[in-house]
Structure 1
Amino acid sequence: MKRITGYLLATCVALPVGAQTTLTLDSCRALALSNNKQLAVAHVKQDIAANMRKSARTKYLPRVSALAGYEYTSREISLLSDDQKKTLGNMGTNATAGIGGKANELLQAVPQGVWQQLGQLGFTPEGIQQQLTAGIGSLAGSLNQVGAGIVDAFHTDTRSMWAGAIMVTQPVYMGGAITAMNRIADIGEQLAANSAHAQRQLTLYSIDQAYWQVVSLRHKQKLAQSYLDLVKKLDGDVQKMIEEGVATRSEGLSVSVKVNEAEMTLSKVNDGLTLAKMYLSQLCGLPMNGSVTLADEESENIAQNTSCAKADVAVAFEQRPEIRMLRNTLDMTQQSVKLLKAGNLPQVAIVGGYAVSNPNLFNGFERKFGGVWNVGVLVRVPVWNWGDVTYKVRAAKGASAIASLELEEVKEKIELQVSQSSFRLNEASKKLQLAMASTRKAEENLRTANLGFREGVIQSTTVMEAQTAWLQAQSQKIDAEIDVRLSQTNMQKALGTLEN
């Protein structure tokens, strides 16, 4: 909401700048926040950290992956060896070879009387032998065909293979690594937000200093112009007195030198004011060759209605983005230790999926796609890594110790910074009161000197001294008022409460 409000305010303010629209401190801050490049980079880093956090959340969810491939080989997969194929192809021949030999031996062992009886029935040894040979040959051919069929049945035709699979992996326990990773991502997002906050405060601090620098130079420009008018008037009066013979030429030359010095001072202030406005325009994202008018340029009392929070170190420890960033760093190193320790712990995951292939491995290498479901549990237990994880854990603990020491050191420096800012603010307030008292005395002294000069009882040198004292008092008052403003800004920055 602050970013949107600032952008709208900056847009509304930027439109009529060319028409000499007066810019307040808040409008300059809004313009600077809208146009600061480093702040824009910090916001992009926040978006990056947010996406990294979302990415870390997905580690809890199951992973689904798909694989597919094709392979052509010069030879197919063979489930039978060449000898087995040959044996099966000649299975009938090999089997009947022995049967034929035994049949001949049996025929030769038949008694002669049996042959005579068989002969009466019409059976001769030659006929029986021919019939046995024909039957054995027929059996051998049939068995050879059966063996060839078996060889063909084991033919895989796997020279051209297609395969695919869908796998699902669900982490169950990763030793705390996923939890630590998510916490690191959360801390990283907080770190990016705190970094953007720090850049925001730095931008506001820079714009405040530039704003009050312009206001200071503008008031000194008016002061230099007033001083120039005073010395010019004195120079004119002295020149008239010289013409009347009541003043010496030496007095006239002294006043003329003061006029030249006043003109030179005014020229320097004009140049400094131009450069300061260019720098302020650059911070606000406005054209540097444009004309910028600030609301406090015409203010009679720059330091009026000012207030600042008390120097409470506890508030600084809570609000300073630098402290929060170091705490984020410390938390991140602690989570890194847990992440590394997970390398020595077991990891459990559930896996499952579906795989297909062509030829179909589950139906006799059929030239069709066929698949199978699978589910299982995967357990990984580290056994020995030569102390690699232990050394990394020790290193991470060392980094955590460093972050803790740096946090304590920064706390001490911030406590000192708050004290110094409080002292500077009190000192600036005292200087302002003294400067205002000196201004009143210098104005009265100048009034008295001018009155005495007109009455002819005071010389021009005394008037010039009074004018110089008045110039110094007014300049010191302007410096004191600006110092109060800058001291308040320093206090807010030290407390971490510098906001738009």
Structure 2
Amino acid sequence: MMKIIFTSIAVLLFSSITVAQNYTLKECKNLALENNLRLKESKLKIDAAEKVKQNAFTNYFPKVSASANLFRSSKGLLEIETPEFNLPVYDGNPQNLEAATQFAYFPSLSIETLDYANTASVTAIQPIYAGGRISTGNKLASLNQDVQQLQYDLNESEVLVKTEEFYWNLAALNEKKKTIENYQTLLQNLHKEVNDFYEAGLTQKSNVLKVQLELNKIQGNKLQLINGIDVLKMAFAQHLGLENYENLSVTDTIANINAPDFYYQNPSEAIKNRKETTLLNKAIDAEVLQKKLSSGEFLPELGFGVGGLYLDVADNDNFYGVVFASLTIPISDWWGGTYKKQEHNLKIEMAKNNLKEKSQLMQIQISKEYKSLTESYKQIEIAQTSLTQATEYLQELEDTYDAGLTSLSDLLEAKAIDQEALDALIDAKAKHKINEAKYLQTLGK
């Protein structure tokens, strides 16, 4: 019984190690969005922007502060000394004051006090008007949050395009591996056939060597291809956040190819959907808000406050309630504020020019990517035609070779041409799928 259990565990462990992890393109995209470190960093920036926004909102509420102070002195800070003296006694008649005949004696006096003091205070100040800086600051904080979200969306788009690049390149290499393995099998069969002829004395040994040399070449190419697949898997696994790359496998094929017209959009209309366009408009909004924020520094500031003060000095303690208002009017800064306002006007104009320039460049980018898409689609048609012709050529030479009318060298060359044509078609399809993703990205999709 225990033997059966251990055997079952061993089978399960072995299966978990050897079974390939097959992923569709959609699954890979989901993994990339979930685990990509660049997107995680962008998400943290969004969270930080949210905290900035929450902090800006607190400026609408009163600012409450409290303080406490106490001190002890080695001697009193206030010392009073009076000498002894006689104080005239006043009988109520002013005429007798200067010539008084009766006096009251006061001895000398020494007083030392204020050797300690304890104070505590609490104040709350509610801003009534601050030149619009509080509302403008909150708008800037909200705008910053929008910008960080747009940056995240742009990073997300780039990650998805990169995912498609990895995916279709890996799919293409897998197809090439199948092609080279099929070609290797054909050469092995041909090698056996030619070797049989040689052993029967029906052909020369040089023909056997020709096939063997071609097999060696294919084995070398296959080794390079396998190493290339491993390196690509390592990079792809890191991109997806996977620990193990060895069993990574893709399931989608490059069979589904759409014509470029299926995706076409007018560049001048397409840029309206771009996140970059929204970001550039946000940059203009930010400069306008910065101008308002700066202008608020030169406007009056009004606040209302209440407070309480506890004072314990010289054996006397009292509590005082305070209500106050403050009005601050900047005067000397108005001159410099004029130039600062002009500076912000120039920055707004620069942001508008930047939007215009970048919009033109985005239209050029969209047109360029569409040309690349149409070019790769045309390359598929050319590669398909070449493959059809290469296959027909190979079939013809195989028939003439079997009839003894074609040399072995010509047959090997035809087989190599057929394999190259098939590889070229695979490359063209993979490139078209990648160009498809890049073009859709430029459309803001």
Fold agreement, TM-score > 0.5: yes
The 10-residue stretch of structure 1 (215-224 or 462-471) with the greater mean CA deviation from structure 2: 462-471
In 1: Cα distance, 2:244 partner to 2:336 partner: 58
In 2: Cα distance, 1:382 partner to 1:172 partner: 17
Partner of 2:165: 209
Cα 1:201/1:156, change in 2 over 3 Å: farther
Q: Secondary structure at the match of 2:333?
A: coil
Q: Secondary structure at the match of 1:166?
A: strand
Q: Which amino acid in 2 is paired with 1:285?
A: G
* TM-aligned CA deviation for residue 94 of structure 1: 9.4
* TM-aligned CA deviation for residue 320 of structure 1: 2.6
Gaps of 5+ in 1: 1-15, 104-132, 360-364
* TM-aligned CA deviation for residue 17 of structure 1: 8.4
Partner of 1:484: 432
Task: Check if 1:333 corresponds to 2:333.
Answer: no
Partner of 1:347: 301
Q: How does 1:230-379 map to 2 (within 5 A)?
A: 230-296=186-252, 299=253, 301-304=254-257, 309-313=263-267, 316-359=270-313, 367-379=315-327
Task: Check if 1:417 corresponds to 2:413.
Answer: no
- Alignment deviations for residues 357-389 of structure 1 (CA, whole Å, 9 cap, x no partner): 113xxxxx7x34312222222111111138443
CA RMSD of aligned residues (A): 3.1
Q: Secondary structure at the match of 1:251?
A: helix
> Does the CA contact (< 8 Å) of 2:88 and 2:97 recur in 1?
no
Task: Check if 1:471 corresponds to 2:419.
Answer: yes
Structure with more of its chain in strand, by fraction: 2
Cα 1:158/1:101, change in 2 over 3 Å: closer
Q: Secondary structure at the match of 1:369?
A: strand
In 2: Cα distance, 1:17 partner to 1:48 partner: 41
Q: Secondary structure at the match of 2:297?
A: helix
Structure with more of its chain in helix, by fraction: 1
Percent identical across equivalent pairs? 22
Task: Check if 1:179 corresponds to 2:175.
Answer: no
In 2: Cα distance, 1:426 partner to 1:406 partner: 30
* TM-aligned CA deviation for residue 156 of structure 1: 9.6
> Does the CA contact (< 8 Å) of 2:168 and 2:434 recur in 1?
yes
Task: Check if 1:75 corresponds to 2:76.
Answer: yes
> Does the CA contact (< 8 Å) of 1:219 and 1:478 recur in 2?
yes
Of 137, 140, 160 in structure 1, the residue corresponding to residue 116 of structure 2 is 160
Q: Which amino acid in 2 is paired with 1:37?
A: L
Partner of 2:182: 226
* TM-aligned CA deviation for residue 90 of structure 1: 3.9
Higher Rg: 1
Partner of 1:460: 408
When the two structures are superposed, what TM-score results if normalisation uses the length of structure 1?
Answer: 0.77
* TM-aligned CA deviation for residue 37 of structure 1: 1.2
* TM-aligned CA deviation for residue 160 of structure 1: 1.4
In 1: Cα distance, 2:265 partner to 2:256 partner: 19
Q: Secondary structure at the match of 1:434?
A: helix
- Number of matched pairs: 426
In 1: Cα distance, 2:361 partner to 2:152 partner: 21
Partner of 1:119: none
> Does the CA contact (< 8 Å) of 1:279 and 1:288 recur in 2?
no
Q: Which amino acid in 1 is paired with 2:397?
A: A
Partner of 1:107: none
When the two structures are superposed, what TM-score results if normalisation uses the length of structure 2?
Answer: 0.86
In 1: Cα distance, 2:52 partner to 2:227 partner: 50
> Does the CA contact (< 8 Å) of 2:273 and 2:443 recur in 1?
yes
> Does the CA contact (< 8 Å) of 1:230 and 1:467 recur in 2?
no
In 1: Cα distance, 2:360 partner to 2:77 partner: 77
- Alignment deviations for residues 438-463 of structure 1 (CA, whole Å, 9 cap, x no partner): 22232222222212211222222221
